[in-house]
């Protein structure tokens, strides 16, 4: 079935558009919002305003670079959720207006499912069933993937996401936003066994990261009381130790999930999957366990429209469209 689909992603602070033709992603245009840096985190109202400023230019560039006219489009896809309500509303409203004007159908996409399906953009592609560790600023989940839209969350965080733990730790250290990538950068220069932190033990395959944030805060408080320059003198070792601890929390659950299900097709997705330490440790563990690993390209880890386009392609093949009454969902069921 011939298909040309425009996909729009606006769930948080990245305005992105992508064109996919017959299942092949042609581009992935992303406008990043620098306005949040001075606030130490994403400000929802500023994010939605920035989406309004960026979306026309981003969509225009996606169509132009793909050499696709609006009259060539068969459908328009958008992120329905989860995400920031104001940000989602901008993308959905734009998609609705464009689809209505062109008289073509709409395709709603679950943001987290799209992260998983990003693995089908490039080769090699995983074989069903596979396990996917989705890790981001808002989510930490182990997903059993039986088919493109047959996914079951078999483990998840019961409080904070691992990406939020990285960013909060960076803020405590006085690093600028976004702090997670900076921890990764400093960690590459440090001793990962310099300091130890407690681990919250959860039943089954679930995670908990709120305790490590609290423990980290008190650890720094106590060390700075003894030495006010502790952070400045030991930053690489602190980052390396914390990063190793968080990664081990993730990989211990993935190991358990693989053993329980017998599945050795293992993937990671989401913004934290760009972390070099996680990638390195996962590859080492995969070699030890005999896993067949799938790690997405960096541009498909963070929020992007290419993954929305791929999810939309699978939905288009099923004829799974939505109506103009569709509204954004901050907490969209998986």
What pLDDT shows up at residue 290? 97
CATH H-level superfamily of 125-296: ATPase, nucleotide binding domain (3.30.420.40)
What pLDDT shows up at residue 49? 94
Please return the burial class of 49, using the count of CB atoms within 10 Å of its CB with bins 0-12, 13-18 and 19+. Answer: middle
What token pair was written down for 56?
Answer: 């026309």
Output the tens digit of pLDDT for each of the chain's 334 residues.
799 999 999 999 899 999 999 999 999 999 987 767 777 778 888 889 999 999 999 999 999 999 999 999 999 999 999 999 999 999 999 999 999 999 999 999 999 999 999 999 999 999 999 999 999 988 999 999 999 999 999 999 999 999 999 999 999 999 998 889 999 999 999 999 999 998 888 889 999 999 999 999 999 999 999 999 999 999 999 999 999 999 999 999 999 999 999 999 999 999 999 999 999 999 999 999 999 999 999 999 999 999 999 999 999 999 999 999 999 998 888 8
Q: Where are the domains of the chain?
A: 4-116+301-318, 125-296
Q: Given this structure, which CATH class describes domain 4-116+301-318?
A: alpha beta
Beta strands in the chain (DSSP E): 4-9, 14-21, 24-25, 29-32, 75-81, 106-110, 130-135, 140-147, 150-156, 265-269, 292-294
Beta bridge partners of 130: 145
Q: Is-contact 129 327, C-beta < 8 A?
A: no
Helix (H, G, I), strand (E, B) or coil at 68: coil
- Do the domains 125-296 and 4-116+301-318 match in fold? yes
What pLDDT shows up at residue 169? 95
Q: Is-contact 16 323, C-beta < 8 A?
A: no
Smallest CA-to-CA distance from 131 within 123, 122, 119, 121 is with: 119
Q: Is-contact 5 305, C-beta < 8 A?
A: no
What pLDDT shows up at residue 44? 83
What token pair was written down for 272?
Answer: 């934290």
Q: Please tell me the distance from the alpha carbon of residue 323 to that of residue 65, in angstroms, as a whole number.
A: 29
What pLDDT shows up at residue 334? 81
What pLDDT shows up at residue 178? 84
């Amino acid at each position: 079935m011939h298909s040309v689909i425009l996909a729009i992603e606006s769930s948080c602070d990245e305005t992105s558009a992508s064109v996919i033709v017959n299942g092949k992603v042609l581009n992935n245009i992303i406008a990043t919002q620098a306005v949040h840096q001075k606030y130490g985190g994403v400000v929802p109202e500023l994010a939605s305003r920035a989406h309004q400023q960026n979306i026309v230019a981003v969509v225009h560039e996606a169509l132009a670079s793909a050499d696709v006219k609006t009259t060539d489009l068969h459908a328009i896809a958008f992120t329905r959720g989860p995400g920031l309500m104001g940000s989602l509303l901008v993308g959905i409203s734009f998609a609705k207006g464009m689809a209505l004007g062109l008289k073509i159908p709409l395709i709603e996409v679950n943001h987290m499912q799209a992260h998983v399906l990003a693995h089908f953009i490039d080769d090699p592609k995983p074989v069903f069933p596979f396990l996917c560790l989705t890790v981001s600023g808002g989510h930490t989940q182990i997903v059993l993937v039986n088919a493109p839209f047959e996914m079951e969350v078999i483990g998840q965080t019961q409080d904070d996401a691992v990406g939020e733990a990285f960013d909060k730790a960076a803020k405590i250290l006085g690093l600028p936003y976004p702090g997670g990538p900076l921890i990764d950068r400093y960690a590459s220069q440090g001793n990962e066994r310099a300091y130890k932190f407690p681990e919250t033990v959860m039943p089954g395959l679930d995670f908990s990261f709120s305790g490590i944030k609290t423990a980290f805060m008190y650890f720094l408080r106590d060390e700075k009381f003894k030495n006010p320059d502790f952070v400045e003198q030991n930053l690489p070792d602190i980052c390396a130790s914390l990063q190793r601890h968080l990664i081990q929390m993730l990989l211990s659950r993935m190991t358990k999930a693989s053993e329980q299900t017998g599945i050795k097709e293992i993937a990671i997705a989401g913004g934290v999957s760009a972390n070099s330490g996680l990638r390195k440790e996962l590859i080492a563990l995969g070699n030890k366990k005999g896993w067949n690993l799938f790690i997405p390209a960096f541009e498909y880890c963070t929020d992007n429209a290419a993954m929305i386009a791929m999810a939309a392609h699978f939905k288009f093949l099923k004829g799974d469209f939505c109506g103009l009454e569709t509204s954004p969902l901050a907490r969209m069921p998986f």
